[in-house]
Amino acid sequence: QVTLKESGPVLVKPTETLTLTCTVSGFSLSNARMGVSWIRQPPGKALEWLAHIFSNDEKSYSTSLKSRLTISKDTSKSQVVLTMTNMDPVDTATYYCARINNYYYYMDVWGKGTTVTVSS
Amino acid sequence: SYVLTQPPSVSVAPGQTARITCGGNNIGSKSVHWYQQKPGQAPVLVVYDDSDRPSGIPERFSGSNSGNTATLTISRVEAGDEADYYCQVWDSSSDHPENYVFGTGTKVTVL
């Protein structure tokens, strides 16, 4: 059974750096046909893609947030980590990680998400 | 960047057919995927590559894509289909692709 689980702080202060971890099971981060993406969803709003990483360590970022994001993986720990710098209240959202199919670029399995609030 | 436009809401009576559109420039040339999101839950993939269904998704869910519009069709709508639906594509066409693009989302209400 494929699962992904997000973890990280519930509350961060403005200007702080957010670090989120996605722990996967049921598949390997070294699988050439798969990758992991981070997606977020502000309350009551649409989904927004943030970043992805593939088995060959290829990375890609949302153009609008590229300067603030870093994605990395630890294959031995089955973890993908996303950092977002200079957090702002508008970054308050539920953050999801999801497995990507490398051929058609869709997210076939999602984590349950973790809610992050940015407030002083 | 590439933009996907969906109607904010669609209402449908039980047993009828719901059609959710996703508009984008020449979207017919792209592979379109659809997600269902119920309140308080993570999205679930219901259609990929325009019209294929993941295992476990009922045949009532189908998709099509041509020209500037992709469509998710839910036949014989049930109360449990009430949710938000999002389309998504991979955009590699522009100088600064946003990569994964999601639609604006459509709330399906079962009357």
Type of residue found at A45:
K
Per-residue confidence (pLDDT) for residue A33, from 0 to 100: 83
Q: Contact B15/B76 with Cβ under 8 angstroms?
A: yes
Q: Does B43 touch chain A (CB under 8 A)?
A: yes
What is the pLDDT confidence band of residue A16, given thresholds at 50, 70 and 90?
Answer: very high
pLDDT at residue B10, rounded to an integer: 97
Whether the predicted pLDDT of A107 surpasses 90: yes
Q: Residue B24: is it exposed, middle or buried by C-beta count within 10 angstroms (0-12/13-18/19+)?
A: buried
Read off the tokens for B32. 């379109």
Of B31, B42, B45, the CB nearest to A113: B42
* Mean pLDDT computed over A63-78: 95
The band of B98, judged by pLDDT with boundaries at 50, 70 and 90, is: low
pLDDT of residue B95: 61
B17-45: pLDDT as tens digits: 999 999 999 999 999 999 999 999 999 99
Cα distances (Å, whole numbers) of residue B16 to B20, B48, B57, B59, B77: 13, 23, 18, 15, 6
pLDDT over 80 at A78, yes or no: yes
| B60 has a pLDDT exceeding 80 | yes
Interface test with B, best of A39, A104, A108, A109 (most B CBs within 10 A): A104
- Whether pLDDT at B96 is above 80: no
Taking one residue from A and the other from B, the number of pairs with CB-CB distance under 8 angstroms is 65
DSSP state of A17: P
Residue with tokens 């893609």: A49
For residues B15 and B74, what is the distance between their CA atoms, to the nearest angstrom? Answer: 10
Largest CA distance in chain A: 42
Pairing of strands A69-74, A48-54: unpaired
Q: Does the beta carbon of B34 lie under 8 angstroms from any beta carbon of chain A?
A: no
Buried b (16+ CB within 10 A) or exposed e, A80-107: bbbebeebeeebbbbbbbbbbbbebbbb
> pLDDT tier at A104 (50, 70, 90 boundaries)?
confident
Token pair for A58? 């290829």
What is the rounded distance in angstroms from the CA atom of residue A48 to the CA atom of residue A51?
10
Tell me what the mean pLDDT of segment A3-32 comes to. Answer: 96
- For residue A47, the model assigns a pLDDT of 97
- Name chain B contacts of A99, Cβ cutoff 8 Å: none
